[in-house]
């Protein structure tokens, strides 16, 4: 059973890493679950509970980045409060309608639609949407860096 759980852990980590680059699965939380399984199976002998807490905080930062990066871009571009609400709504509805791809496109579409509803010119609405898309992509890059940090912490915890 131990070998099976270690294999399951490795599969989860690998699937999570793929999910970081392809919006099919929520990458970093799946990586974290794989690491948690490995720590649990080893009875926290190679990976301390403190390390797992640090990895859990990084995974939580990843989730926050996924949902807030588009909102930050909308705010930076000068979108009004309705546009920012649109970014949040776009992230929530985008994920529920389009799955993980909705996390990328949803906030930008939400900002654009809500800015247009607030009677802003199409050029300003498009500018806000493009900033939102850019910040969402920056959030993805941030997640890649978080994943690499988690892998480095995990490997160094095993071999230290």
Q: For 123-148, write each residue's pLDDT tens digit.
A: 988 988 898 888 888 888 888 899 89
pTM of model > 0.85: no
pLDDT surpasses 70 at 24: no
Alpha-carbon gap, residue 56 to 38, rounded angstroms:
14
The pLDDT score that the predictor gives to residue 22 is: 61
Domain boundaries defined on the chain:
2-159
Alpha-carbon gap, residue 148 to 28, rounded angstroms:
10
The pLDDT score that the predictor gives to residue 103 is: 75
pLDDT surpasses 80 at 23: no
Alpha-carbon gap, residue 70 to 130, rounded angstroms:
10
pLDDT surpasses 90 at 34: yes
Please state the rounded mean pLDDT for residues 11-24. 77
Question: Who contacts 98 (Cβ-Cβ below 8 Å, separation ≥6)?
Answer: 105, 106
Q: For 48-65, write each residue's pLDDT tens digit.
A: 889 999 999 999 998 888
The pLDDT score that the predictor gives to residue 68 is: 76
Percent of the chain predicted with pLDDT > 90: 31
| Contact criterion met (CB below 8 Å) for 12 and 31 | yes
The pLDDT score that the predictor gives to residue 38 is: 92
């Amino acid at each position: 059973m131990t070998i099976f759980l270690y294999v399951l852990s490795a599969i989860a980590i690998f699937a999570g890493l793929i999910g970081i680059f392809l919006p099919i699965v929520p990458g970093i939380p799946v990586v974290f679950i794989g690491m948690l399984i490995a720590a649990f199976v080893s009875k926290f002998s190679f990976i301390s509970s403190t390390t797992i807490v640090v990895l859990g905080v990084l995974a939580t930062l990843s989730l926050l980045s996924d949902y807030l990066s588009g909102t930050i871009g909308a705010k930076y571009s000068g979108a009004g409060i309705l546009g920012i609400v649109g970014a949040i709504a776009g992230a929530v509805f985008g994920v529920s309608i389009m799955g993980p791809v909705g996390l990328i496109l949803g906030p930008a579409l939400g900002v654009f639609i809500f800015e247009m509803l607030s009677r802003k010119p199409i050029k300003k609405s498009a500018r806000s949407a493009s900033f939102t898309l850019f910040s969402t992509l920056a959030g993805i890059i941030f997640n890649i860096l978080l994943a690499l940090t988690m892998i480095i912490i995990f490997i160094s915890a095993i071999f230290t």
